[in-house]
């Protein structure tokens, strides 16, 4: 379906309708409608400049929509402040990890919990360290981690916020295959616990392996939505939007 809605969708956690955000003459998001179902792992793909990051910014409250609706877990959140949206249970990563360089890995996780739910934070930090295989660097300063480990820590900080919907922005870009594997396994485990994911990804291997459904954007619009196989079979999408042969 070209509008990004799920076929027979039951209970979407995120509903976006006719969303617009232009920057001067640039139609960054130009009439996007999509649903993300609870416990789904939805992939958002599209060429550079197609509007994926702007859509994340709109949903997470970093950018205000010109018009349109964004409904998260029953709340209309379009135009609300980022911290208010985060408090409702929506968390995101950034392309450049956001962390406290001078604090240890564990302290960074605890600081993220302190921004949201403190209850059980120490136990959750220990679980998160194990999930992301960061135990051996728990006491290291964040600034001393490798780039890949910093991406894991960024993901860990998001996990600590106990969100019900997590937006991941190219979380596996440029990381070592071992770290990618840790991230993919963590996503699968967290989904088993009921967490929903919307992920921006350029890595088609990751998209194929973890996403239940793929939403394709081009020039500020959703141009296709379906399973990996549906998308790959759609030669127009593959050639025009992804520049790949079928």
Ligand X SMILES: Nc1ncnc2c1ncn2[C@@H]1O[C@H](COP(=O)(O)OP(=O)(O)OP(=O)(O)O)[C@@H](O)[C@H]1O
Binding residues vs ligand X (CB under 6 A): 23, 26, 28, 46, 48-54
Rounded CA separation 91/56 (Å): 10
The least distance separating ligand X from the CB of residue 206, rounded to whole angstroms, comes to 15
Question: Which pair of tokens denotes residue 78?
Answer: 């379009």
Output the smallest distance, CB 48 to ligand X, in A.
3
Give whichever of 52 and 124 is closer to ligand X, judged by the CB atom. 52
Cα separation, 59 vs 187, whole angstroms: 20
Toward ligand X, which CB reaches closer, 191 or 202? 202
Query: Given the complex with ligand X, which of 31 and 49 has the nearer CB atom?
Result: 49
| Six-digit token string for 26 | 């640039």
Tell me the C-alpha distance between 174 and 236, whole Å.
28
Residue 193 class from Cβ within 10 Å (0-12 exposed, 13-18 middle, 19+ buried)? exposed
Q: Which is nearer to ligand X, 48 or 246 (CB)?
A: 48
Between 23 and 118, CB nearer to ligand X: 23
Would you give the distance in Å from CA 200 to the centre of its chain?
6
Q: Give the pair of three-digit tokens for residue 98.
A: 């956001």
Residue whose entry in the numeric block shows the structure tokens 């770290």: 179
- Rounded to a whole number of angstroms, the minimum distance from the CB of residue 221 to ligand X is 11
Q: How far is the CB of 244 from ligand X (least distance, A)?
A: 16
Least spacing, CB of residue 203 vs ligand X, in Å: 12
Q: Which two tokens stand for residue 137?
A: 């660097």
């Amino acid at each position: 379906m070209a509008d990004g809605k799920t076929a027979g969708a039951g209970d979407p956690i995120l509903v976006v309708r006719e969303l617009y955000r232009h920057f001067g003459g640039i139609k960054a998001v130009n009439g996007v409608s999509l649903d993300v179902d609870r416990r789904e792992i939805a992939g958002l793909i599209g060429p550079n400049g197609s509007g994926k990051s702007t859509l994340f910014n709109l949903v997470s409250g970093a950018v205000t929509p010109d018009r349109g609706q964004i409904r998260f877990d029953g709340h209309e959140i379009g135009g609300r402040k980022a911290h208010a949206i985060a408090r409702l249970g929506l968390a995101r990563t950034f392309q450049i990890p956001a962390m406290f360089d001078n604090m240890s890995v564990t302290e960074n996780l605890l600081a993220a919990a302190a921004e949201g739910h403190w209850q059980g934070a120490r136990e959750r930090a220990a679980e998160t360290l194990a999930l992301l295989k960061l135990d051996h660097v728990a006491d290291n300063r964040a600034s001393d981690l490798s780039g890949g480990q910093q991406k894991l820590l960024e993901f860990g900080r998001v996990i600590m916020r106990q969100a019900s919907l997590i937006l991941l922005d190219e979380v596996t870009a440029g990381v070592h295959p071992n770290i990618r594997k840790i991230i993919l396994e963590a996503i699968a485990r967290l989904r088993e616990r009921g967490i929903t994911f919307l992920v921006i990804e350029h890595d088609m291997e990751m998209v194929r392996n973890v996403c239940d459904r793929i939403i394709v954007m081009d020039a500020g619009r959703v141009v296709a939505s379906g399973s990996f196989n549906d998308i790959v079979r759609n030669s127009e999408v593959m050639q025009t939007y992804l520049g790949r042969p079928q």
